[in-house]
């Protein structure tokens, strides 16, 4: 199949929903062999089936990316299925509770750090070791504008996403001479089930989000997927260590 990532093997975590699902569909359309990973098996199988029905190549593997054993088994499964990994989009994440730093529970702190930060470390640990064996690859981690700026009432999320930006830069330096590029995407407010949950809980209103975004709208998952595809493709061959805002100008304020 022709396309911007034709013939490449791509692992996408959080591929059941939202940004991960849009990225999986785009990579499938652009010729990659896709491994969709998520702990939501029903949604993940649905994404993989939709890629195959559209003429692409895709499989699903269930994994909780905060667990070392699950991540090690996931990377082994990609290699067993497709023989290598060329692109990895480490994207699964949660928003956690909305509560200020004085009110953030230790349970929320530990859960958000495990799922939003430790997962990215674990995925990169095994992906990098595998990519070195085949001479290179491209990794994109999902940070957030909350990895570049503070966000009141989300201390664990902000700390995790700043951590993702730092891990991204560090791995980029470590592997720059081994043919592996490591970047992060930093979305602004994107209309996904995650943001719908935040709206349902009354944390922010849609009007507040529109007012905070310079373009006065939310982004679409497909707009993040396009930036991830570019960062994974050979078109961005001299780009590494970049936490890239895709945010309609939010972080420029």
Which positions touch ligand NAP (CB under 6 A)? 13-14, 16-20, 38-40, 43, 63-66, 91-94, 115, 142, 144, 187, 189-190, 192-195
Q: Which secondary structure element, helix H or strand E, spans residue 63, and what is its range?
A: none
What is the smallest separation between the CB atom of 66 and ligand NAP, expressed in angstroms? Answer: 5
Q: 163-187: string of b/e by CB count within 10 Å (b at 16+)?
A: bbbebbbebbeebeeeebbbbbbbb
Distances (CA, A) of 194 to 1, 6, 31, 92, 120: 33, 30, 28, 11, 18
What is the smallest separation between the CB atom of 135 and ligand NAP, expressed in angstroms? Answer: 28
How far is 111 from 104, CA to CA, in rounded Å? 11
What is the smallest separation between the CB atom of 247 and ligand NAP, expressed in angstroms? Answer: 8
Instruction: Calculate the CA 90 to chain-centre distance.
Output: 4
Of residues 1 and 226, the one with the C-beta less far from ligand NAP: 226
Tokens of 110: 């530990």
What is the smallest separation between the CB atom of 56 and ligand NAP, expressed in angstroms? Answer: 19
Tokens of 12: 């996408």
Of residues 86 and 247, the one with the C-beta less far from ligand NAP: 247
What is the smallest separation between the CB atom of 62 and ligand NAP, expressed in angstroms? Answer: 8
Other beta carbons less than 10 A from residue 249's beta carbon? 11
Looking at 39, 126, 157, 250, which residue is catalytic?
157
Of residues 13 and 97, the one with the C-beta less far from ligand NAP: 13
Of residues 94 and 231, the one with the C-beta less far from ligand NAP: 94
- Could you please report the per-residue DSSP string of 181-233? EEEEEEE-SB-SHHHHHHHHTTSS-HHHHHHHSTTSS-B-HHHHHHHHHHHHS
Q: Catalytic residue at 126?
A: no
Of residues 58 and 190, the one with the C-beta less far from ligand NAP: 190
Active site (catalytic) residues: 157
């Amino acid at each position: 199949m022709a396309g911007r990532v034709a013939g490449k093997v791509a692992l996408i975590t959080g591929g059941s929903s939202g940004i991960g699902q849009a990225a999986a569909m785009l990579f499938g359309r652009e010729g990659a062999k896709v491994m969709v990973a998520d702990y939501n098996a029903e949604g993940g199988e649905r994404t993989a089936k939709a890629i195959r029905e559209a003429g692409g190549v895709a499989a699903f593997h269930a994994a909780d990316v905060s667990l070392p054993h699950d991540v090690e088994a996931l990377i082994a499964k990609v290699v067993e299925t497709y023989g290598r990994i060329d692109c990895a989009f480490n994207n699964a994440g949660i928003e956690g509770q909305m509560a200020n730093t004085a009110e953030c529970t230790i349970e929320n702190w530990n859960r958000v750090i495990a799922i939003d930060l430790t997962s990215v470390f674990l995925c990169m640990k095994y992906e990098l070791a595998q990519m070195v064996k085949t001479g290179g690859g491209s990794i994109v981690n999902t940070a957030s504008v909350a990895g570049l700026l503070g966000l009141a009432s989300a201390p664990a999320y902000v700390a995790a996403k700043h951590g993702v930006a730092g891990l991204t830069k560090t791995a980029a330096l470590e592997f720059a001479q081994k043919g592996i590029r490591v970047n992060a995407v930093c979305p602004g407010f994107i209309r996904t089930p995650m943001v719908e949950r935040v709206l349902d809980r009354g944390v922010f209103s849609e009007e507040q989000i529109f007012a905070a975004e310079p373009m006065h709208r939310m982004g679409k998952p497909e707009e993040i997927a396009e930036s991830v595809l570019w960062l994974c493709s050979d078109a961005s061959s001299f780009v590494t260590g970049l936490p890239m805002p895709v945010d309609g100008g939010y972080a420029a304020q």
